[in-house]
Amino acid sequence: MQSSATKLVEELGRFGIVEWIDSHTLIVHVDRSKLRDIAKYLHWGIGGYFSVSIGSDERPLDNSFHVYHVFSLDHLGVYVVVDIRVSPGYLHVPSITPIIPGANWHEREVMDYFGIMFDDHPEPKRLILPYNWPKGVYPLRKDYPYNKKVYIEEASDEPEHDSRFAGKYTIIPIGPYHPALHEPEYFELYVDGERIVGARYKGFMVHRGMEKIAESRMTINQIPFLAERICGICGYTHNVAYCQAVENVAGIDVPERAHYIRSIMLEIERIHSHMLWLGIAFHFLGFDTGFMITWRLREKVMDLAEMLTGNRKTYGLNLIGGVRRDIDLSKALKVKKVLRDLRKDYVDYMEKILGLKEIIYRTRGVGVLDYGEARKYSVLGPTARASGIDTDVRKYHPYAAYRHVDFKIPVYKDGDVLSRILVRHEEIIESINIIEQLLDNLPRTPIMAEEIHVPEHRIGVGVTEAPRGEDIHFVITSRDNKIYRWRPRAPSYNNIPALLVMLKDQHLADAPIIIASIDPCFSCTDHVLIIDVRTGSRKQVGLRELSRRGLG
């Protein structure tokens, strides 16, 4: 292991200057001419995968912009940050999207926020900022104050539909907004009869610039609470990833007990998240009994979270250096009892449910993402594991207390909706096992580190396995208890673009379950407006109805 890491450092030395930034993260400073070679080497050459890109305005520090591409090398347990310095006089970087399609959004985000151009990007359009956002205004640059208002005067000139399909096929827009639900997303399906021929996605309608707020006016120990609010389901994993990023760069010695408590809560979160998802999946399949069953069981897990942290969803448990609440013996025993009963109930129900033929027929061979496509888009988590990619941050980059427990990683090869159901189903049982092992071995240490000193202007990377996949937080520290740059990336960011592959050539009636199968947020899945381009007639139906009767 050590020797393979040394070999890696040597290999990467061909591309640029290599440094360790912590015991399992490397940074390579490369010249733009070597960027594509190293990206190809890391993603396609030695079996790593592209994880995230970060733009950063470091003019106040070294008079330049930077673009960082982060790759995970699961087999070595190493993350590699590729750093490209961009001079303010020439804001161009070669795009890596032609090599790794999954980098598409990441580069466009940097384009939007910093005005850095990616040469040869196949789709150099705006991603996050609206089309009518004023030209030349780059909100994440450091000379742009966080509280400066932008007045948008022009109308958006964003093309309404994908010109390759519009006019030829019936357009089915899904979304973009439902007043009762958060996180709107917009899909546009192009259908020929019942068959989906193409799809378009538009998101980021609720992007609120939390990075900017954090960088501008929050302190290092306030950000965990904001991080937790990135997701309305699996927020704690963001909280942990952020804290780990800072702890890694500062070399903080987090006490073991705190690590155990973090892992316990992360697994509780995974169970409730997966159960929520299973319920929704059953609901979209028209199997509401299954929905009721999983949600009823999930409620017991929510109660556990409430007992352990004081809230059923926002645990608010972490500060840099440890956790704020201990788990005492009586609570530990209670958790074990609830989980024991839960496992029995859950396994029994799921055996019956997975024996229902309709569930199998509706999901087998549906929404397939094969291994090759999954690699191209760098999909993560259960979506990746259902397509034959053996990846799991908990196993390959162990954090918190995961190196002390035994657990299996379910991997399925078919890449269909059924595989995604099975992966999550088995993960629920594994999570229960993990929590039991952790509770049995809770070490007797304090729960908060004593010495906390965060060095200035250093890069930290913190990663967790969220219920939806790898969750990565990148920070650059600053002085005065502040963070200079913070870029959280949730797994759906990598998974959603792959939906367009999964939807292709599928039946319209399967669209809701396919979209739901990667476990994105569900606000998108409520409202459908059908426009028949040939007659111009409109009808509105709920996605649920659509999933039952098709377009008929």
Give contact residues for another protein (rule: CB under 8 A). 218-219, 221-223, 225-226, 229, 289, 292-293, 296, 299, 303, 306-307, 309-311, 314, 316, 324-325, 348-349, 352-353, 355-356
C-alpha 189/C-alpha 198 separation (Å) is 6
Phi, psi of 168, rounded to the nearest 5 degrees: -95, -30
C-alpha 374/C-alpha 358 separation (Å) is 27
Is the Cβ of residue 9 or residue 347 nearer to another protein in the bound state?
347
Is the Cβ of residue 115 or residue 322 nearer to another protein in the bound state?
322
Helices (H), ranges, 414-465: 417-440
C-alpha 134/C-alpha 64 separation (Å) is 23
Residue 419: Cβ-neighbour burial (10 angstroms; 0-12, 13-18, 19+): buried
Tokens of 345: 């109930």
Diameter of the chain measured on Cα atoms: 71
Helices (H), ranges, 285-399: 288-309, 329-354, 357-363, 371-377, 381-385, 393-396
- Minimal distance in Å, beta carbon 359 to another protein? 10
Phi, psi of 381, rounded to the nearest 5 degrees: 65, -150
| 476 contacts 459 by C-beta, under 8 angstroms | yes
Phi, psi of 202, rounded to the nearest 5 degrees: -140, 130
Say how many residues make up the chain.
552
C-alpha 532/C-alpha 539 separation (Å) is 9
- Minimal distance in Å, beta carbon 405 to another protein? 26
- Minimal distance in Å, beta carbon 202 to another protein? 29
Is the Cβ of residue 187 or residue 282 nearer to another protein in the bound state?
282
Is the Cβ of residue 70 or residue 297 nearer to another protein in the bound state?
297
Is the Cβ of residue 261 or residue 380 nearer to another protein in the bound state?
261
Q: HSE-up of 521 (CA within 13 Å, CB side)?
A: 24
Is the Cβ of residue 306 or residue 505 nearer to another protein in the bound state?
306
- Minimal distance in Å, beta carbon 514 to another protein? 25
- Minimal distance in Å, beta carbon 327 to another protein? 11
- Minimal distance in Å, beta carbon 374 to another protein? 32
Is the Cβ of residue 192 or residue 326 nearer to another protein in the bound state?
326
- Minimal distance in Å, beta carbon 257 to another protein? 18
Q: HSE-up of 188 (CA within 13 Å, CB side)?
A: 17
- Minimal distance in Å, beta carbon 222 to another protein? 4
- Minimal distance in Å, beta carbon 199 to another protein? 34
Tokens of 72: 């995970």
Is the Cβ of residue 6 or residue 311 nearer to another protein in the bound state?
311
Is the Cβ of residue 125 or residue 344 nearer to another protein in the bound state?
344
Is the Cβ of residue 218 or residue 466 nearer to another protein in the bound state?
218
- Minimal distance in Å, beta carbon 127 to another protein? 28
The number of beta carbons lying within 10 Å of the beta carbon of residue 455 is 11
Tokens of 60: 């106040």
Task: Of 353, 245, 361, 345, give the one whose Cα is nearest residue 297.
Answer: 345
Task: Of 39, 161, 30, 158, give the one whose Cα is nearest residue 98.
Answer: 39
**Is the CA virtual torsion 161, 164, 169, 172 positive or negative?**
negative
- The packing angle between helices 104-114 and 492-503, to 10°, is 130
Is the Cβ of residue 448 or residue 551 nearer to another protein in the bound state?
448
The number of beta carbons lying within 10 Å of the beta carbon of residue 77 is 16
- Minimal distance in Å, beta carbon 319 to another protein? 9
- Minimal distance in Å, beta carbon 53 to another protein? 28
DSSP labels for 251-280?
Answer: T----HHHHHHHHHHHHHHHHHHHHHHHHH
The number of beta carbons lying within 10 Å of the beta carbon of residue 441 is 12
Is the Cβ of residue 296 or residue 408 nearer to another protein in the bound state?
296
Task: Of 520, 524, 427, give the one whose Cα is nearest residue 231.
Answer: 520
Is the Cβ of residue 310 or residue 446 nearer to another protein in the bound state?
310
- Minimal distance in Å, beta carbon 316 to another protein? 4
* Sheet bearing 195-202, strands edge to edge: 195-202, 186-192, 170-174, 527-531, 538-542
Residue 435: Cβ-neighbour burial (10 angstroms; 0-12, 13-18, 19+): buried
- Minimal distance in Å, beta carbon 386 to another protein? 23
Is the Cβ of residue 62 or residue 306 nearer to another protein in the bound state?
306
